[in-house]
């Protein structure tokens, strides 16, 4: 009987969880948590894809930009965004178009090598698209 059990059995029933008489159990008010810990939701949906305008180089939602693709030496607008091939994005405004034209951003963005005899990209169709009011 001198051996001590390594595990103290039997101590479980001794827990004194019963509150003493005359002392009501008070639950803590947990509603007082600091509400500043809650991060506010980003109003701009992060799921919206973002593209860079090749004219003004500003980033904008893809839906705000006009996609253009190069086909047979011509830059054509692709409002539906479904044309195959390499596309570039710019604001559907003449200002951004001319910025991109001046910087030769179309050839760069569309991987059009004007120096190898292919000639410059024909931008007339796109310019007409941008100067024509939307029906």
Residues that bind Zn ion (CB under 5 A): 53, 55-56, 91, 96
Three state DSSP letters for 82-111: CCCCCEEEECCCHHHHHHHHHCCHHHHHCC
Q: Which is nearer to Zn ion, 81 or 119 (CB)?
A: 81
Give me the least distance between CB of 89 and Zn ion, in Å please: 9
Q: Which is nearer to Zn ion, 103 or 125 (CB)?
A: 103
Give me the least distance between CB of 54 and Zn ion, in Å please: 8
Residue 112 tokens, joined: 């059009």
Q: Which is nearer to Zn ion, 96 or 109 (CB)?
A: 96
Give me the least distance between CB of 100 and Zn ion, in Å please: 8
Give me the least distance between CB of 120 and Zn ion, in Å please: 21
Give every CB contact of residue 58 below 8 A, 6+ residues apart in sequence. Answer: 52, 91
Strands 87-90 and 50-52: unpaired
Q: Which residue is nearest to Zn ion (CB)?
A: 53
Q: Which is nearer to Zn ion, 65 or 121 (CB)?
A: 65
Angle in degrees, CA 129, 85, 125, rounded to 5: 20
| Burial category of 126 from C-beta neighbours within 10 Å (exposed 0-12, middle 13-18, buried 19 and up) | buried
């Amino acid at each position: 009987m001198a051996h001590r059990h390594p595990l103290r059995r039997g101590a479980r029933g001794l827990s004194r969880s019963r509150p003493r008489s005359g002392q009501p159990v008070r639950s803590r008010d947990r509603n007082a948590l600091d509400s500043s810990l809650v991060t506010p939701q980003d109003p701009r949906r992060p799921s919206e894809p973002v593209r860079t305008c090749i004219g003004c180089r500003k980033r904008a939602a893809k839906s705000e930009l006009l996609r253009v693709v190069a086909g047979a030496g011509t830059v054509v607008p692709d409002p539906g965004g479904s044309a195959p091939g390499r596309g570039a994005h710019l604001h559907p405004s003449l200002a951004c178009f001319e910025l991109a034209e001046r910087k030769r951003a179309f050839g760069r963005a569309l991987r059009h090598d004007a120096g190898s005899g292919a000639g410059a990209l024909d931008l007339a169709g796109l310019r007409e698209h941008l100067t024509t009011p939307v029906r």
